[in-house]
Structure 1
Amino acid sequence: MLNLISVLSGLMTLVLALVALIPLLGWLNWLVIPMAVVGAAIGAMSAGTAGRNLNIFVLVVSAIRLVLGGGIF
């Protein structure tokens, strides 16, 4: 059950992360990163690894996007 919640959280944050890739919407990554951390924590408590891995992927993509955008853009 926790893995399902983590996967759903990861899919929601992935959609938001894809929107945040649009120029001038990089500030949205500041919302996506904490959501991905919570999803990864929930996924870490479950027996499966799919949700945790999805949230870690979203976390890495959002962090790289923030670094490339200078933290805001």
Structure 2
Amino acid sequence: MISLVWGILAMIWMVLALVPVIGITNWLLIPFAAVGAIIAAVGLLFTRSGRRGRAKAGLVINGIVIFVAIWRLGLGGGLI
């Protein structure tokens, strides 16, 4: 559950970071989403097979956020 909420917060932050002037915040967003992905991975390891849906969703959301943040930094040259 924590990783899902973490991923939703990261997704909201990612949408805000798509604004050109605020794009530099992607440097902070990537580690934030990585922590969420690690929490999701731990959740996948230590939960029963029937209750892994939220951890999988958190892992996917955080993975998408990391991918888009890296892509956005590539477009802006790492600054904008």
- Does the TM-score normalized on the shorter chain lie above 0.5? yes
- Could you list the structure 1 runs, at least 4 aligned residues long, displaced by more than 6 angstroms after superposition: none
Q: Which of these residues, 8, 13, 24, is aligned with residue 10 of structure 2?
A: 13
Give the corresponding residue for 1:32.
Answer: 29
Give the corresponding residue for 2:59.
Answer: 52
Give the total of aligned pairs.
Answer: 70
Q: Name structure 2 gaps, 5 residues minimum.
A: 45-51
Q: How much identity, in percent, do the aligned residues show?
A: 41
After TM superposition, give the deviation of residue 67 of structure 1 in Å.
0.5
After TM superposition, give the deviation of residue 5 of structure 1 in Å.
0.3
TM-score, normalised via structure 1 length? 0.91
Q: Which amino acid in 2 is paired with 1:59? A: I
After TM superposition, give the deviation of residue 55 of structure 1 in Å.
0.3
Q: Name structure 1 gaps, 5 residues minimum.
A: none
Mapped pair 1:42 → 2:39: yes
Q: Which of these residues, 71, 74, 78, is aligned with residue 71 of structure 1?
A: 78
SS at match of 2:37: helix
Q: Which amino acid in 1 is paired with 2:11? A: L
CA distance in 2 between counterparts of 1:61 and 1:30 reads 12
Larger Rg, first or second structure (1 or 2)? 2
After TM superposition, give the deviation of residue 46 of structure 1 in Å.
1.1
TM-score, normalised via structure 2 length? 0.84
After TM superposition, give the deviation of residue 23 of structure 1 in Å.
1.2
